[in-house]
Amino acid sequence: MASSLTKDTPEAAPGGRTFLGHPLGLPVLFLTEMWERYSFYGMRALLVLYLSATVADGGLGFDTATAVAIYSVYNAMVYLLALPGGWFGDRVWGARKTVTVSGTIIMIGHFLLAVPLEISFFAGLVLIAAGSGLLKANISTMVGHLYPDRNDPRRDGGFTIFYMGINLGAFIAPLTIGYVGQKVNWHYGFAMAGIGMAIGLACFLLGSRTLAEESSLVPAPLSDVERAAVIKKVLIWLAVAAVAYGVIGGSGSFTIDWVLWPLTILGLVLPAYYIFRVKRDPELDAVEKSRMSAYVWFFVAAAIFWGIYDQTGSTLSLFAERNTATDLFGFDFPASWFQSLNPLYVMALAPVFAWAWVALNRRAKEPSTLTKFAFGLVLVGVSFGVMMLAQTAAAGGAMVTPLWLAAVYLLQTVGELTLSPVGLSLTTKLAPAKYASQMMGVWFLAVTAGDSVIALLQLLGAPTDTEFWFASQGALAVLAGAAIFMYRKKVQPLMGGVH
């Protein structure tokens, strides 16, 4: 297999030019995603801290359980809305136009967070979730468009490089946005996130000519009848929601739980329903249906992984704030800086992994995708075993060494690199042609399912500051990884020649 970083591979860019052996559109998408992730992770680094900070400290004053639940539901909705985002790309606007519109929506949402009003804050969260959903599935699909051959040897390497763009933005964001938000003013930090998205949008528009022509096409455009039917359904559901919440608000019984509970349940039910619906589509051929059966295994594995991993911005962030020493050589740094550790590790290790997969493949020793997924689950499970020990060390209000969180993030990063970029690439390989962009949305639904489980546990009153919280989830992940490894030889034949 040719290396993903050489220039003697098949061309996929206009004029035969490449960037480190990859299509010229890759650095454009890299920069767009880097700045979008800068805005997203910068805001996310502040979110649970801002929600739980007292009103006197400029926060919203929510209790810990509610703050973690809001964070988890918000994160779940970002990835849930990737599904209709993929649908818009497939059936309404095409991937390129959808990314342009979504970037604009995200930018407006971040600037609304900068307004010191609670109503504008939650309105901004809604817009960011909607815009991120539209953008996520489509920009990843556009990376896939750069490699028309599904078994192009550069494909996994291209997604890994793209993934580094995500993490470069995620690394810088907590250091800048987190510092300004925690040390200067929460809303100035949110405004910086909006500026970041504006830069990302400009990069995308200026470099759009280097992207694949396929990204401008609408693969399965809606007919006039279908369009009218969709509009009618949307209006009906909006009317139902408006009436329901109007009655609840009019009765004086409205609380944040009236939003959190329905969204949490939706985040659990919709992923299962949608996978079942795609798998049962009579228009799919036998190979496509078989691949969807295999995909269920990867989806469940990813849901367990992300349910644990995404607590970096909630339970681990609060642990950093309340139980971890933040003094380094006399400098007191904000707790949000811990969230730069994971992307720092990714940037250091991602090139190593990209090289290793190619090198192992040349020797016919590359682990199967199922084995990579199993390894990722085991590592994220072990990371929560370490957190269990850290929680024990913090008993009685003791401030523990930052090395605990540094070790946790390192374990999670190595697990992430064996699962996430490989999962993105695999999704484009296993996706039925009819659901090309939408299947990227399905991949992100695994995050929705995982985060919704965490939100549900918070709404039910599960304490996050106990050893059992970390131990139980860590044990589940390790057992799930072991099960996937044991049954890998039964799943591989279902993948229809994809490897």
- DSSP for 160-180 reads HHHHHHHHHHHHHHIIIIIHI
Q: What is the pLDDT of residue 86?
A: 78
Q: What is the pLDDT of residue 9?
A: 39
Interval 115-168: pLDDT, tens: 999 999 999 999 999 999 888 878 878 888 888 666 676 776 777 778 778 888
Q: What is the pLDDT of residue 377?
A: 93
Tell me which amino acid residue 208 is: S
Q: What is the pLDDT of residue 489?
A: 77
Span 40-68, average pLDDT:
92
Report d(CA 89, CA 99) in Å as an integer. 9
CATH code for residues 17-221+255-495:
1.20.1250.20
Q: What is the pLDDT of residue 384?
A: 96
The domain spans of the chain are 17-221+255-495
Backbone phi and psi for residue 324, each to the nearest 5 degrees, phi listed first: -120, 135
Span 419-428, average pLDDT:
79
Top pLDDT among 441 and 461 is at: 461
Percent of the chain residues topping a pLDDT of 70: 92
Q: What is the pLDDT of residue 283?
A: 84
pTM above 0.75, yes or no: yes
Q: What is the pLDDT of residue 186?
A: 95
Does the pLDDT at position 67 exceed 80?
Answer: yes
DSSP line for 238-267: HHHHHHHHHHHHHTT---THHHHHHHHHHH
Percent of the chain residues topping a pLDDT of 90: 46
Span 72-96, average pLDDT:
87
Interval 453-492: pLDDT, tens: 999 999 998 988 889 999 999 999 999 999 888 877 777 6
Span 367-395, average pLDDT:
92
Q: What is the pLDDT of residue 149?
A: 66
